[in-house]
Structure 1
């Protein structure tokens, strides 16, 4: 497995996820005969929730995670001029 220090884990074909952090991001490599790529999602107790609706390359998945981190960093900001109308 790789990527743990980058905020995600990668589980390659034939490997198992030995440990997880609830809410942690994980890439599971798909079989080549199924098209390859990775499923990207989060791990919770007893569950893997797919967060990206289709198989993704490792590079595109990492770009997605970088975008998510930017959005999450601004999620607490308040804009007093924001209007719903």
Structure 2
């Protein structure tokens, strides 16, 4: 019987498979308001999937959608100067 030994490079995590860098964590932190707003919007929509939406549900979805769009707009406006610097 022949044993197959693990190759060190395969056992060890590759450069792309390690913990996030400080820059990546900062980017996630910058996007967190938009992520949270998207989750709230999705939650509002999911609650109405199995029933007919009431007026209150419709308002909740509309407000959540508006918050998500505002958060995305703020993120895009904040990120625009960073993109120009790298160009």
TM-score range, shorter chain: under 0.3
Structure possessing the higher relative contact order (Cα contacts under 8 Å, 6 or more residues apart): 2
TM-score by length of 1: 0.25
Structure 1 or 2: more strand by fraction: 1
Structure 1 or 2: more helix by fraction: 2
TM-score by length of 2: 0.24
